[in-house]
Amino acid sequence: MQIQDGKHLTFSLGKEDYGIPILQVREIIGMMEITEVPKTPEYIKGVINLRGKIIPIMDLRSKFGMDPIEYTERTCIIVVEVDVNKAKRPMGIVVDMVSEVVTIEQGEIEAALDYGAKVDGDFLTGMGKVKDKVVLLLEIEKITNSEDFNIALEETNTRI
């Protein structure tokens, strides 16, 4: 697991702040209608049609085992690019609120130790110090595994 310094998009889930490398972010969109896909894990909310592309949607709060909340006007979908079967594919992750893009230097990142955060340690690349907060830096590839992606797309293709 590699600690990634540089620019990160930060967002909130509950009271915790998270960050993902900005280079993996394709766009941020407001909530839109999600088509549910049967036989998928609870955290896969379904798929959306974004300008003609079918994109699987994962609720990060649900993936991390956090209590569900109602989506609000601040709830966003972050469209990220992940490696699936050796190809880059878009996937949407639902977060409570997008915060800002921050630069986190190597010296401001500490190793990801298990401090009881609500995230499985495998997902973390480190903990960044930003202003007076700690931002949990996520490895998006570990969260959006290809099995989840394939289940959502296979079930969608079955229904069409």
- The model's confidence at residue 14, banded by pLDDT at 50, 70 and 90, is very high
User: What is the average per-residue pLDDT within 11-39?
Assistant: 94
At the second CATH level, the architecture of 6-159 is Beta Barrel (2.40)
User: What is the average per-residue pLDDT within 132-150?
Assistant: 79
User: What is the average per-residue pLDDT within 39-67?
Assistant: 93
User: What is the average per-residue pLDDT within 145-151?
Assistant: 60
Q: What is the DSSP letter of 78?
A: E
In the predicted structure, residue 114 carries a pLDDT above the cut 90:
no
Structure tokens at 35: 């088509």
* Beta bridge partner(s), residue 13: 16
Where do the domains of the chain lie?
6-159
Mean pLDDT computed over every residue of the chain: 85
Determine the pLDDT at residue 1: 41
Spatial separation of the C-alpha atoms in residues 92 and 60, rounded to whole Å: 10
Residues 105, 110, 115: CA angle, nearest 5 degrees: 145
Count of residues making up the chain? 160
In the predicted structure, residue 11 carries a pLDDT above the cut 70:
yes
Neighbours of 107 (CB within 10 A): 8
Residue whose C-alpha is closest to residue 119's, from 69, 61, 71, 79: 61
